[in-house]
Structure 1
Amino acid sequence: MTKGISLHIGLNSVDPQHYEGWSGPLNACEADANDMADLAGSQGFATEKLLTKKATRKAVLDGIADAAKSLKSGDFFFLTYSGHGGQTPDLNADEPDGQDETWCLYDGQLIDDELYSAWRAFASGVRILLLSDSCHSGSVSKAVHYAAMARSGPPPVYRAMPNEVALRVYQNHKDFYNPILEKRNLAETLGGVKASVLLISGCQDNQLSLDGTFNGLFTGTLKIVWNGGTFSGSYRRFHTAIGSKMPPDQTPKLSLVGKSNPEFIAQTPFDLHVARKTASTPKKKRKK
């Protein structure tokens, strides 16, 4: 029987002791995690949530590692993150923009390289779906550009750690972050991923993701498209349908890491059933 495990992370704040006095208040991230856990449960996944103070680096990495130990070929791991995105200097030359992207967990940032490394523990044939409703802050001029685009009324809240905070956090915690950032085996790591990891992110790397009253913009739009399970179509169609309902300055991104799996991408979202290739019927030879 196909097994499904899901882990849902939502942080409405972070620990100011690690983030140099910044608590990163947000409104709807815990709600996103709760709603995604409900969606996963309705599809037959065994669910777990890590909300704000419980969403530590260790808890998240342990949760991913536990899933890797439990799942075999054909099984499904569903991981969602809702919270601030951050950036650190790229010290192993794997990023074209010179910056690594991060999740701002409660007691410290989780570097994207660490996530890539975690995928190596999963068995071949495991399907992994990752939804990330977060953003990565750009230059100060970019922040001003977004502010200028805001409509009248309350200012928008973006899920990005401010640049000045990112700089202070990195400078004051170099001893912690540099050994992670300097690892040189990322290419080997990516080549060693045997599972198929499908990512739908809330925006592009050079964009910002909006928080909201009830959900983040990406998660709320995803729920509208999903429509209680009435959506039918592939992950590509799902991604396109979500993007069509979002503003041009927040464009969801679809990408795949690890083993190519066209059957997985062609499935209905959140479907636990194992994708199988359709065998072609051999053509009958004509009688001469």
Structure 2
Amino acid sequence: MPPAQQQHYGPQFEGQDHRMHQPWFQYSQCNGKKKALCIGINYAGTSAELRGCHNDARNVQRFGYQMDDIVVLLDGLPNPRQWPTKQNIIAAMQWLVRDARPNDSLFFHYSGHGGQTKDTDGDEADGHDETIYPMDFEQAGHIIDDEMHAIMVQPLPPGCRLTAIFDCCHSGSALDLPYIYSTEGKIKEPNLAAEAGQGLLGAVSSYARGDMSGVFSGVKGLVGLATGSNKKAAEHAKRTKTSPADVISWSGCKDTQTSADTSEAGQATGAMSWAFIESLSRQPQQSYQQLLQSIRDLLASKYSQKPQLSSSHPMDVNVIFIA
């Protein structure tokens, strides 16, 4: 099980208060309040129509949440307040994280279309932000990963869990979490915590307060140089998107891949949503590394997409996954 005490990482260094500091985060024990938001968009009657997204949302809904603790948005429902419009999605995201406390367990699931758009703040190594598409995207536009991170990750206190599942194309870093893991349990890109020093501490401290101006001033010239290379983009992401909250994202594929809208056991479904539920149904207690591997194994025989695991902090992937 995840340890209850604060988890420190990276080097110690002297802060502006002349005391020694070290970056830290806190796992959630997931024994507090539970809330969930499930979004399924089939885009019925359009050229972009999908078949399995409603089923994905309903299947996750049945995965252990009380009706009072879950919001489900589906296009085609009688009540327009339950439609996954851009306005309703953002309002529901805000509801999900409102009044969040340590040891709470929040769950976000999105099944629909995903895409990419040009990155404007230098935190993407490939130069593209990831996006999701509300049912009214042609009028209202898409929602980019920076927005979702600002709404659902930034407000969370240390020790609060948010588990997100993105079953959509180009979703590898859809929540802008800077630590991405391989099936061997290793962070795919260099762990900047070991070399960030005081700049990272200042950025993390400002981030926790919601002071984004403090984040950017804390990293000084590094922000201005972030667009120069993949490494600098990764450094920028870690300095501005690391969080002491316990945020985990499972995505259906890499940023460069598509996710399948398919059929399993005679039911239309997203491949990632099916594999996630199937894996935990077969073996409810798995570590993060085991779950990532088992989901990939389920998909590998039929699909080319490679699900991704990312987090808001460096974590021990041998810890048992709970939500």
Please indicate the TM-score interval, normalised by the length of the shorter structure: 0.5 to 0.7
Q: State the SS of the aligned residue for 2:63.
A: helix
2:108 alignment counterpart:
79
Give the Cα separation in 2 of the matches to 1:206 and 1:45.
Answer: 37
2:125 alignment counterpart:
96
1:206 alignment counterpart:
256
TM-score, structure 1 as length reference? 0.67
TM-score, structure 2 as length reference? 0.60
Q: State the SS of the aligned residue for 1:246.
A: helix
Counterpart of 1:266, as a letter, is V
Q: Residues 130 and 199 of structure 1 are in contact (CA less than 8 Å); yes or no, is this contact kept in structure 2?
A: yes
Q: 1:112 to 1:121 in 2, by over 3 A?
A: same
1:161 alignment counterpart:
none
How many residues of Structure 1 are paired with residues of Structure 2 in the alignment? 214
CA displacement at 1:7 relative to structure 2:
0.3
Q: Residues 285 and 320 of structure 2 are in contact (CA less than 8 Å); yes or no, is this contact kept in structure 1?
A: no
Q: 1:261 to 1:45 in 2, by over 3 A?
A: farther
1:190 alignment counterpart:
241
After TM superposition, the structure 1 stretch with the greater mean CA deviation from structure 2, 61-70 or 78-87, is 61-70
CA-to-partner distance for each residue in 1:98-154, whole Å, 9 max, x for gaps?
2111011112311011111121112221101011110129xxxxxxxxxxxxxxxxx
Counterpart of 2:294, as a letter, is A
Give the Cα separation in 2 of the matches to 1:220 and 1:93.
Answer: 34
Q: Residues 238 and 269 of structure 1 are in contact (CA less than 8 Å); yes or no, is this contact kept in structure 2?
A: no
CA-to-partner distance for each residue in 1:61-110, whole Å, 9 max, x for gaps?
22222222232001011000001111111122221212111011112311
Give the Cα separation in 1 of the matches to 2:93 and 2:117.
Answer: 22
> Superposed, which structure 2 residues align to 1:141-156 within 5 Å?
none
Q: CA RMSD in A?
A: 2.8
Give the Cα separation in 2 of the matches to 1:189 and 1:45.
Answer: 34
Q: State the SS of the aligned residue for 2:109.
A: strand
CA displacement at 1:253 relative to structure 2:
0.4
2:155 alignment counterpart:
121
Q: Residues 116 and 189 of structure 1 are in contact (CA less than 8 Å); yes or no, is this contact kept in structure 2?
A: no
Q: Residues 6 and 40 of structure 1 are in contact (CA less than 8 Å); yes or no, is this contact kept in structure 2?
A: no
> Superposed, which structure 2 residues align to 1:1-288 within 5 Å?
2-13=32-43, 23-41=47-65, 46-52=69-75, 54-108=83-137, 109-118=142-151, 119-136=153-170, 189-191=240-242, 193-213=243-263, 214=267, 215-227=269-281, 230-247=283-300, 249-257=304-312, 259-260=313-314, 262=316, 266-270=319-323
Q: 1:40 to 1:60 in 2, by over 3 A?
A: farther
